[in-house]
Amino acid sequence: MGKLSEFEMIAKHFAPLAERFANGVLDSFGLRDDAAVFACASDEEWVVTKDMIVEGIHFLPDDPPASVAKKLLRVNLSDLAAKGAAPSHYLLATAWPTSADDAWVAEFARGLGEDQELFGIGLLGGDTVSTTGPATFSLTAFGTVKTGTMIRRAGAQVGDKIYVSGTIGDAFIGLQLLKGQLSVSAAGDRDFLVNRYRVPHPRLDLTDLLRQTAHAAIDVSDGLLADLDHLCRASRAGARVNLESLPVSPAAQACIDAGTAVREDLARGGDDYEVLFTASPTLSLPNDVTPIGTVIGQEGLWAGTGEGPLSPLDSAGFRHF
Amino acid sequence: MGKLSEFEMIAKHFAPLAERFANGVLDSFGLRDDAAVFACASDEEWVVTKDMIVEGIHFLPDDPPASVAKKLLRVNLSDLAAKGAAPSHYLLATAWPTSADDAWVAEFARGLGEDQELFGIGLLGGDTVSTTGPATFSLTAFGTVKTGTMIRRAGAQVGDKIYVSGTIGDAFIGLQLLKGQLSVSAAGDRDFLVNRYRVPHPRLDLTDLLRQTAHAAIDVSDGLLADLDHLCRASRAGARVNLESLPVSPAAQACIDAGTAVREDLARGGDDYEVLFTASPTLSLPNDVTPIGTVIGQEGLWAGTGEGPLSPLDSAGFRHF
């Protein structure tokens, strides 16, 4: 680092993010203690999720630092949204290479600060170290649910419809654009698709709907089919999916029409951070929630519609190794 | 990695560590969900701490994997001990280089499993990713205290005695031995000192004593003087320290006698994972807790005894950057 000591970095960039919790049932002690404390209401449980991201693997070296910070936070909030939990606070561990400069850290912290305001949460504690490798960040996010109401992956019932929020495949195309593996003619489409990769929108707006209706839920991070496979395995069931009904954005549809994207690949791409859930087939749904299939007793993923014949679907999504 | 996929690694090595929490007020869902849940008693608060360690910085590439895992867990438990908290569970995020093999991961998980039994805790959740850099691990540990009783860094009162548990400087010498910067003649001394570096013993045996007596506490990780400085700054006080009273082990004393270690360096070395606390000067103490100084109104750290003259002490401990 060479510019700020770890203590100066914490005091300058991260302690202000912890001011929200100077007192009360959550206390960060201004990041000047070894630990933080938090209580919980007697009728609630904490839901906790922890993700780690590595430069060059989960984000690109020239991604804007504020969007790296936002993505780190939001992928965790996306997990909370799919579980029906209301976000509360987070812990952050950061490992910085010597090449990281103060301006990068300042932008990273600014991104977190903006999202704290947007989502009404705050930093409660963490750790700051150096690394000889790529920048590596680990974030632990906490949310609350009424006791016993966390929506699980397990719980899908045969006959449930399978629903997905938003549109699928935008981030997959956005990453290809950033890597120069693909191009689109409309600048607006490019910005939209790249932004879908860089700054996901956790579907916290769906939390009430999910609490009221979902039998099982998961956020789409590894890829729609891979995550559907996770959900089905946990529920000891299978799924019949109609990929023709996959919701795609106008920008992604333009790529399909131009022959530069294949609908089935979009269902394997990942990084969508939409919510996939199963519920009663008679559900009345918001506009941007789309039924894409049905939970069936036969394990595995199958392509097919209605009572037609089934053919096996390969779920392969993103794997680290 | 090349041998196991991330999902296979989780299922084989880490899911068994989460079995403790298959049901009840804590539920890991066998690491097969996106999140875990935990409740808390109405008269308790959660104390949470999060540390990150990086190969080549916090541990050496040829350190035994089981001891790396134990140190990672124990440095967090040491924080909980100093705060008067009873450990409950932990989250673990791991980033693996391609060179990590299954045997290393298996040994790492075995170390965690042994310590889970020893400390009566378990794995509740986490994340597993790949990295192009050194192995990097982040652990978040949770403990409980009765509401409002977490022992803080702030709270030292002028006139308090300053106490430290165990012996100081063993790990500092142990690290020098591992790096080949120092040698000791007695093999037993070498084993003792190296083990003090590799596998600290969080002072959970002192939790009751601390709850009953400590006005302020911190665990000794950056170095005794650096951590005393942290405690004094948080308490807006200073300290008069008699380094001649610093408790050292027979193995460390042998190094001092041989002229290969300097007492004052041991107070700056770090990695001791003992507890430093302030309390009434009339306290009746266990054998391995030693008074080393007094809290004074004059800010800063000062060398001196009784009413004699004070000279400033440089607190410089380990800094990441």
Domain boundary among B123, B146, B169: B146
Which of A124, A134, A154 faces B133 most closely, judged by CB atoms?
A134
Report the number of distinct structural domains present in chain B: 2
Residue B52 to residue A93, Cβ atoms within 8 A: yes
Res A319 pLDDT > 70? no
* Residue A298: band (very low, low, confident or very high) from pLDDT cuts 50, 70, 90: very high
- DSSP H stretches of helix in A163-248: 170-178, 187-198, 207-213, 224-235
Integer angstrom CA distances of residue B279 from A34, A133, A266, B216, B254: 19, 43, 63, 8, 31
The stretch A182-210 carries a mean pLDDT of 94
Q: pTM of this prediction? A: 0.89
**B48 lies in the same domain as B132:** yes
* Chains A–B, number of C-beta pairs less than 8 Å apart: 225
Span B166-180, pLDDT tens digits: 999 999 999 999 999
Domain assignment present for residue B190? The answer is yes
Contacts of B28 in chain A (CB under 8 A): none
Domain assignment present for residue B267? The answer is yes
Res B143 pLDDT > 70? yes
Nearest chain A Cα distance for residue B40, angstroms: 7
**A100 lies in the same domain as A198:** no
Parallel, antiparallel, or unpaired: how do β-strands A136-146 and A86-96 relate? antiparallel
Cβ atoms of B24 and B40 within 8 Å: the answer is: no
What is the structure's pLDDT at B308? 73
Which of B5, B46, B83 faces A38 most closely, judged by CB atoms?
B46
Name which of B54, B52, B57, B22 is nearest B36 in CA terms. Answer: B22
The CATH number that applies at residue B137 is: 3.30.1330.10
**A170 lies in the same domain as A123:** no
Residue B133 to residue A54, Cβ atoms within 8 A: yes
What are B86's two structure tokens? 């009873």
Poorest-confidence range of A84-98, A229-243, B13-27, B73-87?
B13-27
Domain assignment present for residue A208? The answer is yes
**B256 lies in the same domain as B219:** yes
* Residue B114: band (very low, low, confident or very high) from pLDDT cuts 50, 70, 90: very high
What is the C-alpha separation between A20 and A124, in angstroms, rounded?
9
What is the structure's pLDDT at B1? 41
**A126 lies in the same domain as A181:** no
Integer angstrom CA distances of residue B81 from B196, B210, B219: 17, 9, 8
Residues contacting residue A164 through CB under 8 Å, at least 6 positions apart = A220, A224, A246, A247, A274, A275, A276, A277, A289, A290, A292
Contacts of B95 in chain A (CB under 8 A): 52, 54, 136
What is the structure's pLDDT at B318? 54
Nearest chain A Cα distance for residue B38, angstroms: 5
Name which of B209, B263, B256 is nearest B241 in CA terms. Answer: B263
Buried b (16+ CB within 10 A) or exposed e, A236-252: ebbbbbbbeebbbbebb
Domain assignment present for residue B51? The answer is yes
The stretch A231-249 carries a mean pLDDT of 95
For residue A299, give the DSSP letter. Answer: -
What is the C-alpha separation between A87 and A95, in angstroms, rounded?
24
Query: Which SS3 state, helix, strand or coil, does residue B248 take?
Result: coil
Domain assignment present for residue B156? The answer is no
DSSP letters, B202-237, are --GGGHHHHHHH-SEEEE-SS-HHHHHHHHHHHHT-
Cβ atoms of B275 and B210 within 8 Å: the answer is: yes
Contacts of A315 in chain B (CB under 8 A): none
Amino acid, res. A64: P
Residue A79 to residue B35, Cβ atoms within 8 A: yes
* Residue B273: band (very low, low, confident or very high) from pLDDT cuts 50, 70, 90: very high
ipTM: 0.86
Domain boundary among A95, A118, A146: A146
Res B16 pLDDT > 90? no
Domain boundary among A146, A181, A207: A146
Domain assignment present for residue A1? The answer is no
Nearest chain A Cα distance for residue B123, angstroms: 12
* Residue B2: band (very low, low, confident or very high) from pLDDT cuts 50, 70, 90: very low
Q: Strand A26-27's sheet: what is its strand order?
A: A26-27, A36-38, B44-54, B136-146, B86-96, B122-130
Nearest chain B Cα distance for residue A48, angstroms: 5
Span A23-65, pLDDT tens digits: 556 788 777 788 888 887 778 899 999 999 999 998 988 899 9
**B173 lies in the same domain as B217:** yes
Q: At what angle do helices A187-198 and A250-258 cross, to 10 degrees?
A: 110
**B134 lies in the same domain as B169:** no
The CATH number that applies at residue A190 is: 3.90.650.10
Q: Which residue of B has its CA nearest to A144?
A: B37
Between B31 and B142, the more confident residue is B142
Give the highest mean pLDDT range of A182-186, A201-205, B302-306: A201-205
Res B151 pLDDT > 90? yes
What is the structure's pLDDT at B316? 67
**Residue corresponding to tokens 């192995």:** B135
Integer angstrom CA distances of residue B152 from A120, A296, B78: 27, 55, 14
Query: What number of other Cβ atoms are within 10 A of residue B114's Cβ?
Result: 14
What is the structure's pLDDT at B306? 72
* Residue A1: band (very low, low, confident or very high) from pLDDT cuts 50, 70, 90: very low
Domain assignment present for residue A154? The answer is no
Name which of A30, A63, A35 is nearest A135 in CA terms. Answer: A63
Res A2 pLDDT > 80? no
Integer angstrom CA distances of residue A48 from A51, A123, B3, B208: 10, 14, 30, 29
Cβ atoms of A27 and A52 within 8 Å: the answer is: no
What is the structure's pLDDT at B317? 58
**B169 lies in the same domain as B253:** yes
Query: Which SS3 state, helix, strand or coil, does residue A176 take?
Result: helix
What is the structure's pLDDT at A10? 83
Residue A91 to residue B58, Cβ atoms within 8 A: no
Span B214-227, pLDDT tens digits: 999 999 999 999 99
What is the C-alpha separation between A295 and A241, in angstroms, rounded?
9
Residue A140 to residue B136, Cβ atoms within 8 A: no
* Residue A109: band (very low, low, confident or very high) from pLDDT cuts 50, 70, 90: very high
Q: At what angle do helices B187-198 and B170-178 cross, to 10 degrees?
A: 100
Query: Which SS3 state, helix, strand or coil, does residue B38 take?
Result: strand
Which of B50, B130, B134 faces A127 most closely, judged by CB atoms?
B50
**A132 lies in the same domain as A173:** no
Residue B133 to residue A138, Cβ atoms within 8 A: no
Domain assignment present for residue A20? The answer is yes
Between B29 and B61, the more confident residue is B61
The stretch A96-103 carries a mean pLDDT of 90
The stretch B203-216 carries a mean pLDDT of 96
Contacts of A131 in chain B (CB under 8 A): 54, 57, 133-134, 136
**B39 lies in the same domain as B178:** no
Q: Which domain holds residue B66?
A: 6-146
What is the C-alpha separation between A206 and A277, in angstroms, rounded?
11
What are A26's two structure tokens? 């959550």
Res A130 pLDDT > 80? yes
The stretch B155-163 carries a mean pLDDT of 97
Distance of alpha carbon B235 from the chain centroid:
21
**A211 lies in the same domain as A280:** yes
Over chain A, what is the mean pLDDT? Answer: 90
Residue B5 to residue A321, Cβ atoms within 8 A: yes
Span A288-297, pLDDT tens digits: 999 999 999 9
Residue B45 to residue A58, Cβ atoms within 8 A: no
The stretch B105-123 carries a mean pLDDT of 94
Res B321 pLDDT > 60? no
Residue A48 to residue B35, Cβ atoms within 8 A: yes
**A209 lies in the same domain as A125:** no
